[in-house]
Amino acid sequence: MKQIFNIFSKKNPTKKIIEKIKIIADYREKNCLVASELIEYGIGVEFRELKVADYIVKDVAIERKTISDFISSMINHRLIKQLEELQQYENKLLIIEGIEEHEIYNDDNERVHANSIRGFLLSILLKHKIPIIFTKNYQDTAKFISVLARRKEKEMPLNVTKKSLNKKERLQFILESFPGIGPKTARKLLEKFKTVKNIVNASIEELKKIIGKKAEVFKLINEEF
């Protein structure tokens, strides 16, 4: 007997497919406990080589630092460059991790004074306009990222590049390569002499009128290798 199909029978409702929340992490975070914790929370973590930031959570770029890494990168100025590169993103965060286990302000620290750390944190907030989140440990960091991943909707492009210096910054960079010439001194010279060529051609006496004894360093220009 030929089988008869009931065309009016109700079909089994298809299950709604829930797309897994995904974030992007720099490949150097692959062995990090934060990444493994996020996976435990059901967050999909895609590892890529990120030129800027450690995590991209939809439209937010996150730079993560443990306290020891924060202090080290503050001392060697690496963090300043990373903060400048983060400016390419409209939304960015700096996470400082580990306040439950380590004291960030330590007056007995031989590497850097506590007030220097406080001043640098103020600079991040006021000059670079980057919010700071202090987390207790890697689990707390993962919880913040997880909440952010579930909260945000808008995604962001990944085609950002390392920060390129503009003309004024390149001129200042050249002068800062001389020992003892910092940003303020470099700008002072450029404001007076306008070009690096004019500075190089100026006499030591002329330079001393502007920057004092620091001008002696420009004697290097006439030294042989």
CATH number of the domain bearing residue 93:
3.40.50.10130
C-alpha span between 52 and 62 (Å, rounded):
9
| Whether residue 185 sits in one domain with residue 143 | no
Backbone angle region of 98, left / alpha / beta, with phi > 0 → left and psi within -120 to 50 → alpha: left
| Whether residue 106 sits in one domain with residue 32 | yes
Instruction: Kindly report the pTM of this predicted structure.
Output: 0.61
What distances in angstroms separate CA 198 from CA 53, 110, 166, one per listed residue? 39, 42, 20
Cβ(197)–Cβ(218) under 8 Å? no
| pLDDT at residue 15, as a whole number | 45
Domain of residue 186, residue span: 167-222
Cβ atoms < 10 Å from Cβ of 22: 13
| pLDDT at residue 196, as a whole number | 87
157 falls within a domain? no
| Whether residue 177 sits in one domain with residue 113 | no
CA atoms within 13 A on the CB side of 96: 24
211 falls within a domain? yes
C-alpha span between 60 and 55 (Å, rounded):
8
- pLDDT tens sequence for the chain (225 residues): 555 555 555 555 554 444 578 999 999 998 889 999 999 999 999 999 999 999 999 889 999 999 999 999 999 889 999 999 999 998 999 999 999 888 888 755 567 888 888 999 999 999 999 999 999 999 999 999 999 998 855 555 555 666 667 888 888 888 888 877 888 888 888 998 889 888 888 888 888 888 888 888 888 777 776
| Whether residue 111 sits in one domain with residue 203 | no
16 falls within a domain? no
